[in-house]
Chains A and B, each alone.
Chain A
Amino acid sequence: KAGVTQTPRYLIKTRGQQVTLSCSPISGHRSVSWYQQTPGQGLQFLFEYFSETQRNKGNFPGRFSGRQFSNSRSEMNVSTLELGDSALYLCASSQIDRSVNGYTFGSGTRLTVV
């Protein structure tokens, strides 16, 4: 059974640019959540998509956006990049009852903004 696939693994971007990250969930998982991980703040929830609809959103500015396609693949976009956006971006797929079954995470995309 294939795991969660995130692409690309590494990215270097310049301040002011925009970036798109991709996530393919486990087959059959309809929920995709995105987290930002930094050494200082740990894992912070960005947003969740379920059946192509954003179901929840964390406390991040509007520069962070996402979408989900009919095959459950998801993308997140960050516009007007800032140095502080440098982080590991993790995608996690889950079934409905994640409070018991948990998330399956991808290996992440390491974004460096210079």
Chain B
Amino acid sequence: TQLLEQSPQFLSIQEGENLTVYCNSSSVFSSLQWYRQEPGEGPVLLVTVVTGGEVKKLKRLTFQFGDARKDSSLHITAAQPGDTGLYLCAGEDNGGSQGNLIFGKGTKLSVKP
């Protein structure tokens, strides 16, 4: 069974601080996706990383895909209250539910002004 482990589970920081969220697996994924979910809403896709070692930037957010395609990280520079939310990583399930995405349990980020 493929699993995606995210850490930390919870993160509470002050505005302006930097942070990194991790998504790890023992399985190889062809790609990984990052979503952000705000309370009362569905997750929204932030980025997809496809190539091992790939780095993608989205304003103050930097996403990296591990060389072996088993892990990914999300780094936020100078966090702002608007970054508050649940960050989820997801990868394609190559097992029983072929083609569907499996999700990590998420990192709940709170950025205080």
Contacts and interface: CB of A to CB of B under 8 A. Distances in A.
Contact of B97 (A57, A99, A105, A108): A57
Interface residues of A, number: 26
Interface in B65-113: 88, 90, 92-93, 96-106
A102 B100 CA distance: 10
Contact of B102 (A45, A92, A102, A107): A45
Contacts of A99: 30-31, 48, 92, 99, 101
Given A42-B104, A42-B105, A102 B45 contact: yes
A36 B112 CA distance: 29
B99 A105 contact: no
Interface residues of B, number: 27
A104 B50 CA distance: 19
B23 to A, nearest CB: 12
Given A58-B97, A58-B100, 14 more contacts: A4-B42, A33-B100, A41-B105, A42-B104, A45-B100, A48-B97, A48-B100, A55-B99, A56-B97, A56-B98, A56-B99, A99-B30, A103-B45, A107-B40
